[in-house]
A and B are shown apart, each in its own frame.
Chain A
Amino acid sequence: EAQVTQNPRYLITVTGKKLTVTCSQNMNHEYMSWYRQDPGLGLRQIYYSMNVEVTDKGDVPEGYKVSRKEKRNFPLILESPSPNQTSLYFCASSLPPPGFYGYTFGSGTRLTVV
């Protein structure tokens, strides 16, 4: 089944403790992206990647890091999480060009930072 898989689905952590949310897609998509979704603010793009080793900032990149060493994986790293990063996170992927095909989203990771 074609899908984007995120792990974990739920995560509660403490301020300052580094964490990684994994994202993997099995559709051979070149484009991948991370979003956070907050009530009243909608989906906001954190980082995106046009291809392996090519990443760029989205609208809200502060406090996040990403890497794209392989086409299928695009992990999101929070090196020192803070409570304002409590949110619902989605990974998405797309065939190129992303503006034409639309995205396939993962099921989400609900992160709580206390």
Chain B
Amino acid sequence: QKEVEQDPGPLSVPEGAIVSLNCTYSNSAFQYFMWYRQYSRKGPELLMYTYSSGNKEDGRFTAQVDKSSKYISLFIRDSQPSDSATYLCAMSAGGNNRLAFGKGNQVVVIP
């Protein structure tokens, strides 16, 4: 079983829809959870950061962590064409442990 699983299948949604992305993981030591956004021909940029379980909201973006199920989610409300990008989940046990990345999910928001 891979450490972090993220379905890489492209996701196309109409403008204004809710985008739902998720990752599962196997390492119960993970406690820092992040989502990165990567535009075409650019490097990933940190979008959301969550410690342990719970929800975090930032504008149209909500990150959820369920440590009991080893499952994290990212929701994008009122999606815009500018949200079209690849979204990568990442997580770490903290300290000097490196980040473990999912493969990324390509999202296309159609005007």
Question: A residues engaging B (CB < 8 A)?
Answer: 4, 33, 40-43, 45, 48, 50, 58, 90, 92, 96-100, 102-108
| A106 and B92 alpha carbons, distance in the complex (Å) | 20
Report how far A58 CA is from B101 CA in the complex, Å.
13
How many residues on chain B are close to A (CB under 8 Å)?
26
Instruction: Closest A residue to B43 by CB, please name it.
Output: A105
Q: Which of B85-111 contact A (CB under 8 A)?
A: 88, 90, 92-99, 101-104
Chain B interface, DSSP helix/strand/loop, else mixed: loop
Contact, CB under 8 Å: B43 / A33 = no
Q: Interface residues of A: mostly helix, strand, loop or mixed?
A: mixed
- Nearest CB in chain B: distance from A70 CB, A: 21
Jot down 7 A-B pairs with beta carbons below 8 A, ordered by A: A4-B43, A40-B103, A58-B98, A96-B96, A99-B95, A100-B92, A102-B34
Inter-subunit contact B96/A98 (CB<8 Å) = yes
A residues less than 8 Å from B104 (CB atoms):
42-43
Find residues 26-55 in chain B having any chain A CB closer than 8 Å to their own CB: 32, 34, 36, 41-46, 49
List of A residues within 8 angstroms of B32 by Cβ: 99-100, 102
Interface-central residue, B43, B45, B103, by most chain A CB under 10 Å? B43
- Cα distance A104–B94 when bound, in Å? 16
In the complex, which residue of chain A has the Cβ closest to the Cβ of B33?
A102
Complex contacts, B90 vs chain A, CB 8 Å: 102
Q: Is the pair B96, A105 in contact by a Cβ cutoff of 8 Å?
A: no
Contact among A99, A100, A106 with B43 in the assembled complex (CB-CB below 8 Å): A106
Q: Which of B43, B94, B96, B103 contacts A42 (CB 8 A)?
A: B103
B14 interface residue, CB < 8 Å from A?
no
Q: Is the CB of A105 within 8 A of B98?
A: no
Q: State whether A102 and B96 are in contact (beta carbons under 8 Å apart), knowing that A41-B103, A108-B41 are contacts in the complex.
A: no
Q: Which residue of B lies closest to A58 (CB)?
A: B98
User: Nearest chain-A residue to B34 (Cβ)?
Assistant: A102
